[in-house]
Structure 1
């Protein structure tokens, strides 16, 4: 009974139009710091961003020159207004600091740090990851954070804004459904202005951001791609490196200013507008609901709701599952039939990999040295087959016949000639990790990172080479191999990460964990 009631409620929910989700923004700009250098443009940046977001349908909570208590109060107001399915945006311009791997946003009443104040500063500022976690627990479907706080140490005379032992902010693990953008890359300084003569009211990053927020039909990833290039080129005019970083765990597309439909003609009546496609994340959520129920009625309700998006992959998949489910029910409804003597099953086609394994075994039996019989036609197997062909006379086979039934028949025929003796290759001195490795890592907060490491041996058991990951970061890996045990470090420029792994016996893979809490596996290319 409960399942029937639940199904009825779900079908009603799928059949009705989805409630309009709100777009809510929290915009903070802090200029007037009490004990660290004041800033010039953070408030102007926040006011300009607030106005632009308000023009494009966001409800905006604007916070200017806020001490810690006021920042926390307005953050609570922001998260309290968010509902499941909403879009949440956080913009912060002000001082920021990275301490012990966490990024902190500083209120105006933050005290100037001393050697013993690190833990005190953590408690008196706003941890970015905890702010994003608070937003995530509201059920907001989309969360975007834009942080213009990658500034330099305030005790150094410069045109930037930051506080702490290193310049800029560090990497962040963005939760699922979240897009985080920093005004500069990890460890980089974000310029407040290009020079003392620069009269623009906004920072270098924000002045490039504003026109793109207004541009109709510009998807978020395209916005970021264009923005990064402009900021980089502006910074280069001052011989400075600033390349905004982003961390993308967003589901589907996002537009600050969706493209508007064309205006009506003055005389002719405009055709009825085509319904805008539902957000991809909404389709996925409804599809998972229908698939979880697994009934014909659930799938039919889903397909009726998204009938105008028949080309969408999710809709096509739902139709396929519905057809399969209906076929299963029709078969189950048929009366049992008197069993008939089954016709003999057709002979199965030979398995190509099985033929290759037999071929490799036959080549080895003839002394052709094909290596292990793994069913893969690698270089050694091809070379062995070439030696076999060279030892025969009058054969019509060519190298292309490797792996065919005809080649296997020739290898196992009576009177076939053996391959010439091949000198054994010298035994390897030991395992090695030289080469290019592709790795996949699972990190905290459900973050997945892929990348490559290219290692070259530089001494006894020492390997060094470049590393790149899918977050756009690059650095240098130094690894030491002792038997099958690997100890290594990744130098990312401003952060060093250590890791340990165990090499597989065949030397073509390893797995392990890192000091950042990630677990990973890697394979030799």
Structure 2
């Protein structure tokens, strides 16, 4: 009993900055390229970033002038240190190139290719998306990636047709839980120096970034907003356009340097007055702090006390991570106890997430969508089944709604088979039939859409697309907020890339067209998730 009381007091009053948060960084700086133009400041940039983050408690894995093997070895060292729930940071300064919509980070031993050797470059470099996927596979809670590789294309002078974009890197779709910053916008050139006699040791981007990494209480999005303006203004002094781009799929806030209050700044006990001039420290969400403390204590009792306290927030990342950590500490035969929660009068178990998922799986199976065993756990097969159901029904839901009571009710209310039966003996189509099928998919016509944005804001709208080329479409968009925009969209198979031009704001997005061509899902640079279906 006393142990439980002590743990509760720790969870309630220990300041956030006292928790041991495991934050690990990977920093790579490549200057000395052997077969493509050398750089001047990438190594210095990497060293400056390593020093700044080290002061903020990051464990940094740093490598300078790394060849391909050294880069891969360093990345492996980095990912091996990451554990579920950790915060990961990645910084790369050096040459990069965009090929076929993918961004590649180049090691120092990359060879200048002959004309058309695109696959060679892909094989000999590090794909940014693959690097982010490796980090995500560790279970890291969040990943912050900063890429300063938006320099002149090192392969531009290759004989014949050049490889990659002329300059800079391309747009990306960041995985959930990831925040990616590029030192310049898509297709822009990042400046190493403002003038030939520029005395600064670092590039324009990094010299603006480093001081902000140690600024207490500066949230990541505010940091990036200030950083972009300063870099843009510096570049404009030499009539150059450089406006850093970012892609935000992060859940929650992030601070490189948290505010560190003195003892006098801690919350005063109830009923006492701290004075009108006393600084007030607010904790945005104590759940993460409590999870960090429970993980630091490391006992099953600590983790169970955390789960009991936050039993009404089972969908949160910290809760799910605590469940996994607790499961590892139990013997295989032990059954996990149900969290000790009080049931309000008239309440039912309909809000229980596992029950919701199990009901959804049963309904998906009844609809012929093959969700597998109804075990109450969202796995790859359940996600695929829900995705099929969405494609077939054009329901006003998004893939992220899986596991909610809204999705359960929507799936259960629709009776009968929804998903078509699997074809057991497919007949290979002729070349002409395959070509006809490929060209049949398109976006021309009227569409209705729902965009789910921050704070669960939903915006409804419509757009009419007209074909302007073999794979190109132009549309006029309007939404329930009274906004109008022009939209340029390109379709590559079923992959969609688009740009919406609102007055004063440009939104870039990527999506995926359903197999029948009657709906698509997309994610935009504003963080909104979109589901669209044909309106006729």
Give your verdict on TM over 0.5.
yes
Alignment partner, residue 113 of structure 1: 113
2:309 aligns with one of 302, 312, 326: 302
Deviation at 1:503, TM superposition (A): 12
2:133 aligns with 133
Q: Which residue of structure 2 lines up, in the alignment, with residue 195 of structure 1?
A: 195
Identify the residue that residue 144 of structure 1 maps to in structure 2.
Answer: 144
**Could you tell me how far 1:250 is from its partner in structure 2?**
1.1
Secondary structure, aligned partner of 1:216: coil
> 1:187, CA displacement in angstroms?
1.9
Counterpart residue number, 2:184? 184
Q: Residues of 2 paired with 1:41 and 1:57: CA distance? A: 25
Residue of structure 1 in register with 2:55 after alignment: 55
Cα shift at 1:441 = 9.5
Unaligned runs of 5+ in 2: 266-273, 294-303, 314-339, 349-442, 480-484, 501-505
Q: Measure the CA separation in 2 of the matches of 1:468 and 1:63.
A: 49
**Residue of structure 2 in register with 1:237 after alignment:** 237
Measured in 2, the distance between the counterparts of 1:74 and 1:60 equals: 11
- Paired with 1:57 and 1:301, the residues of 2 have a C-alpha distance of 30
Matches within 5 A, 1:41-80: 41-80=41-80
Q: By how many angstroms is 1:154 displaced?
A: 2.5
Matches within 5 A, 1:271-282: none
Deviations 1:473-496 (Å, cap 9, x if unpaired)? x9742799xxxxxx9984789x99
Distance 1:241 1:522 in 2: 38
1:454/1:152 Cα in 2 relative to 1: closer, same or farther (>3 Å)? Answer: farther
State the 1:520 CA deviation: 4.1
Q: Which residue of 1 aligns with 2:226?
A: 226
| CA apart distance, 1:225 | 0.8
Q: Which has the larger radius of gyration?
A: 1
2:129 equivalent to 1:122: no
Match of 1:477 among 474, 488, 497: 488
Runs of 5+ unmatched residues, structure 1: 1-9, 287-296, 307-320, 330-431, 443-447, 481-486, 505-509
Question: How many positions carry a matched residue from both structures?
Answer: 359
Q: Hey, what's the Cα distance between the residues in 2 that align with 1:503 and 1:304?
A: 41
**C-alpha spacing 1:207/1:523, structure 2 compared with 1 (3 Å):** farther
- Aligned residue in 1 for 2:316: none
| TM-aligned CA deviation for residue 237 of structure 1 | 2.0
Q: What SS does the corresponding residue of 2:216 show, helix, strand or coil?
A: coil
The residue number in structure 2 matching 1:82 is 82
Alignment of 1:33 with 2:33, yes or no, is yes
- 1:106, CA displacement in angstroms? 0.6
Distance in 2 (alpha carbons) for counterparts of 1:106 and 1:89: 19
- TM-score between both structures, scaled by the size of structure 1: 0.56
**1:250-280 Cα deviation digits (max 9, x unpaired):** 1111100111114769xxxx99997956566
Task: Check the 8 A contact 1:14/1:301 in 2, yes or no.
Answer: no
Tell me which residue corresponds to 2:354.
Answer: none
**Following the alignment from structure 1 to structure 2, what is the Cα–Cα distance between the partners of residues 455 and 467?**
7
Paired with 2:153 and 2:460, the residues of 1 have a C-alpha distance of 32
**CA–CA separation in structure 1 for the residues paired with 2:121 and 2:490:** 36
3-state secondary structure, aligned to 2:147: strand
Partner of 1:260, secondary structure, is coil
Whether 1:511 and 2:519 are equivalent positions in the alignment is yes
**Which residue pairs with 1:165 in the alignment?**
165
Taking structure 2 as the reference length, the TM-score comes to: 0.55
Match runs of 1:7-22 below 5 Å: 20-22=20-22
Query: Helix, strand or coil for the counterpart of 1:189?
Result: coil
Question: What secondary structure is seen at the aligned counterpart in 1 of 2:70?
Answer: helix
Q: Take 1:82 and 1:498, find their aligned partners in 2: how far apart are those partners?
A: 30
Residues 13 and 213 of structure 1, relative CA distance in 2, 3 Å threshold: same
Q: CA deviation at 1:164?
A: 2.7
Tell whether the 8 Å contact from 1:441 to 1:521 is kept in structure 2 after alignment: no
In the superposition, relative to structure 1, how do residues 67 and 499 fare at CA in structure 2: closer, same or farther (>3 Å)?
closer
- How far residue 200 of structure 1 moved from its aligned partner, in angstroms, is 1.4
Give the whole-Å Cα distance in 2 for the aligned partners of 1:247 and 1:300: 32
Answering whether residue 168 of structure 2 is matched by residue 153 of structure 1, we say: no
Q: CA deviation at 1:30?
A: 0.4
Pairing of 1:93-108 with structure 2 (within 5 A)? 93-108=93-108
Alpha-carbon spacing, 1:468–1:259, altered in 2? closer, same or farther (3 Å) = farther
**Could you tell me which of 506, 521, 525 is aligned with 2:532?**
521
Counterpart-to-counterpart distance in 1, 2:496 and 2:341? 51
- Tell me: CA distance 1:261–1:30, structure 2 relative to 1, closer, same or farther (3 Å): same
